[in-house]
Amino acid sequence: MLALCLSSNGAAAQDKSLTLCWAAWDPANALVELSKDFTAKSGIAMKFEFVPWTSYADRFLNELNSRGKLCDLIIGDSQWVGGSAENGHYVKLNDFFEKEGISMNDFAPATVVGYSEWPKNSPNYWALPAMGDAVGWTYRKDWFERPELRAEFKTKYGRELDVPKTYDELKQIAEFFQGRMIDGKKVYGASIYTERGSEGITMGVTNVLYDYGFQYDNPKKPYEMKGFVNSKDAAAGLEFYKSLYDCCTPPGSSDGYMAEGLDAFKSGQVALQMNFFAFFPGLYKDPAVGGKRIGFFVNPAGPKGHFAQLGGQGISVVSYSDKKQDALAYIKWFAATDVQKKWWSLGGYSCAKAVLDDPSFPASAPFAQQFLDSMAIVKDFWAEPAYAQLLQAMQRRTHDYVVADKGTAQEALDLLVKDWTSVFEEENKL
């Protein structure tokens, strides 16, 4: 009898499990490896539901909106926080954080605002910062180091062929490499984001727009967008992005996002690549373009500022889960300093100050310093509950102008203001 009871209790413990939902990419593989430690410690098995980035938002926002029980934990995009908080999809974590001694002061400020807070800049937390990320750049360091190319570049531009500090310098480099023959192969200047279907061109063009003076609204009057979204400076930024697309991208670049950028760089097509830091560990290990062949740099500055588009996500407990206590136990485990250090070592991007502020961090990876520098200058897209409509409008207007040659930059941004105004009127915010 005693043996049967012990056996039954053991089987029940073994049956405990959590399902974590996220995108299918390299950091997700690192999280699978990391989570083995949680299972060993807690006895709770971890299951994972990973979907490609192109269907990530549709898949999991539909799951949340239908109040499904697939996900106990979700690593949701930064822009989802507002809608998920206001619609009751996420468990508010303030009481849990206080009870367990988890302080948001222990995480990088930009990640707390970007991934955890709603309303923004208020102490209301719906996620633990999980995966810090921003748009950065890779370059073919081995090409930049070739003496004959360095000499030719200096003769043409009067400066060294080096990491660009500004967008004007970046464009010069892209023009220099566009159509050039290297090792018997025709190469191109840069891979940038142009994808229309999900969020790609928005995540790309904003890196330039911010640096040219674009703002989402009046800092002194929320949702007042005219003259901020569609300022002459913002239009000049959009014109620059189009000029970079027109002059210096590989053939077939009209609908490219993260995967297409990786393909272009790994195949040796481009000198420069815009992409999220999340992919840089894998690129550094790549046998064809990694190691000494690759270099990394922060998004360049523009005439009106120096910013980078925020990426990354927080981890939340889904309010419809029947396993909320076990899910909270996972978050408590994940927040621990030793776990955060291992997360970084495996290829995840920790947001914990204990990791980022460690004196050894900048030398811990070839892209670590650039990551720190980028997270200090990030801006993010709207995190409003109506974010999907706002995003669809920006995707349409910017792609129509940059890729499809429809109208002018000023007209595109004027139309975007009209689109966004309609959305906020429907939301009763105007």
Query: Which pLDDT belongs to residue 417?
Result: 98
Q: Which residue has the higher pLDDT, 10 or 290?
A: 290
- What is the tens place of the pLDDT at every residue in 37-46? 999 999 999 9
Helices (H), 213-335: 232-248, 258-266, 280-285, 324-335
Whether residue 6 is predicted with pLDDT greater than 50 in this model: the reply is no
Query: Which pLDDT belongs to residue 287?
Result: 97
Q: What are the E-state strand segments in 306-369?
A: 308-317
Query: Which pLDDT belongs to residue 224?
Result: 98
Average pLDDT over residues 80-101: 98
Average pLDDT over residues 240-269: 98
Instruction: Please answer whether residues 334 and 315 qualify as being in contact, where contact means their C-beta atoms are separated by less than 8 angstroms.
Output: yes
**pTM metric for this prediction:** 0.95
d(CA 363, CA 346) in angstroms, rounded, equals 16
10 Cβ neighbours under 8 A, 6+ residues apart: none
Query: Which pLDDT belongs to residue 3?
Result: 44
Average pLDDT over residues 59-68: 97
Query: Which pLDDT belongs to residue 54?
Result: 87
- What is the tens place of the pLDDT at every residue in 375-384? 999 999 999 9
Query: Which pLDDT belongs to residue 123?
Result: 97
Query: Which pLDDT belongs to residue 12?
Result: 43
- What is the tens place of the pLDDT at every residue in 185-203? 999 999 999 999 999 999 9
Specify whether the backbone of 364 is left (phi greater than 0), alpha (psi in -120 to 50) or beta: alpha
d(CA 242, CA 248) in angstroms, rounded, equals 10
In whole numbers, what is the pLDDT of the chain averaged over residues? 96
Whether residue 390 is predicted with pLDDT greater than 70 in this model: the reply is yes
List, in sequence order, every residue forming a beta bridge with 272; answer none if it has no partner.
Answer: 139, 190
Q: What are the E-state strand segments in 173-307?
A: 181-182, 185-186, 188-191, 270-276, 294-298
List, in sequence order, every residue forming a beta bridge with 301; answer none if it has no partner.
Answer: 166
- The DSSP symbol for 25 reads S
Whether residue 395 is predicted with pLDDT greater than 60 in this model: the reply is yes
Whether residue 8 is predicted with pLDDT greater than 50 in this model: the reply is no
Identify the burial level of 74 via C-beta atoms within 10 angstroms of its C-beta, where 0-12 means exposed, 13-18 middle and 19 or more buried.
buried
Instruction: Please answer whether residues 260 and 191 qualify as being in contact, where contact means their C-beta atoms are separated by less than 8 angstroms.
Output: yes
Average pLDDT over residues 368-372: 98
Query: Which pLDDT belongs to residue 15?
Result: 78
